[in-house]
Amino acid sequence: MKSKRGIPRGLLIFPFLFFFALPSVFGTAGIKILLTNDDGYDAPGLAALAARLSALGTVTVAAPSKNESGASHTITMNRPIGVETTEKNGIPWYIIDASPATCLRLAIESLLPQKPDIVVSGLNAGDNTGVITYYSATVACAREAAFVGVSAISAHLEKGKTMDYQAAADFIADLIQELEKKEFKPIAFLNVNFPALPKEKIKGVRLTRQDIRASLELYEKKSGADGKIVYVPSFKRLEAGSEDTDVWALENGYISITPFQIDQTDYSALKRLESLPILKRKN
């Protein structure tokens, strides 16, 4: 059964499965927002978010000094980390020589005087849906925030000729304000993907589940300049698939919002595995 908006009714319960504890202080001091990304501090999507979200409260930016796309949860631990501090339009920016996940944790643990109320990671130049989200450092930053109890959104804009960073930033601002009005428990984070379409051609917003099909990875065999064999990697986009998924929504011109959780435990498997003889061993 579907709602009037075309969203399967079974999915409409999802907002009550996660938690955004944003203080109800819009119109006064606002909320404390930490922005980060994996495209680097000078990415246009990050600038668009910083400009738009500054109207909601106090914004701080902590981002890698260079593009770190695809770094997932890679951490920088084997060397000292350089941090350059600057300011743009009254917003403090920390430009950090580290992986995106480390940038996020360094900001929360050491650079900020207080934990932020929410982390927004993005706007990523390129969508991240399905199992690709496991490779995405944009998603990883939101997950790292959730690890330490901070509400988070990872935001992505599909690559294309009509990428509208401003429209996507406006949507994220609206989403934060709607989340501020309610409290959703227990804690998790949202993965949001925008189609590369003019604002007037976006069909709507879909609440989706993560597509779990394997990504299509291709490796082309070639001869290198030195005569050695090399393999050139590439990805092929998945076809739309099931209508309730993030991949389908994006491919069909919808904004996709997917609630993610941290606990990867397969609880049904816990029960099935209880009968294994190996569990009775003493050593």
Report how far residue 151's alpha carbon sits from residue 119's, in angstroms, rounded to the nearest whole number: 6
Say how many CA atoms lie within 13 Å of 83 toward its Cβ.
19
pLDDT tens for 139-175 read 999 999 999 999 999 999 999 999 999 999 999 999 9
What single string gives the DSSP state of each residue in 83-100? EEEEEETTEEEEEESS-H
pLDDT at 70 over 70: yes
pLDDT tens for 246-269 read 999 999 999 999 999 999 999 999
Q: What confidence tier does 21 reach under pLDDT thresholds 50, 70, 90? A: low
The whole-model pTM stands at 0.87
Q: For residue 82, what pLDDT is reported?
A: 97
| Cβ(71)–Cβ(45) below 8 Å | no
pLDDT tens for 89-129 read 999 999 999 999 999 999 999 999 999 999 999 999 999 99
pLDDT at 15 over 70: no
Which residues, including other chains, have CB under 8 Å from residue 23's CB and lie 6 or more apart? Answer: 31, 117, 180
Domains observed in the chain: 9-214+240-280 (3.40.1210.10)
Omega within 30 of 0 (cis) for the link into 157: no
pLDDT tens for 210-246 read 999 998 889 999 998 898 999 999 988 888 889 999 9
Q: What confidence tier does 9 reach under pLDDT thresholds 50, 70, 90? A: very low
Q: How many CB atoms lie within 10 A of CB 283?
A: 2
What is the phi/psi pair of residue 224, to 5°? Answer: -75, 175
The mean pLDDT of the chain is 88
Average pLDDT over residues 18-26: 48
pLDDT at 8 over 60: no
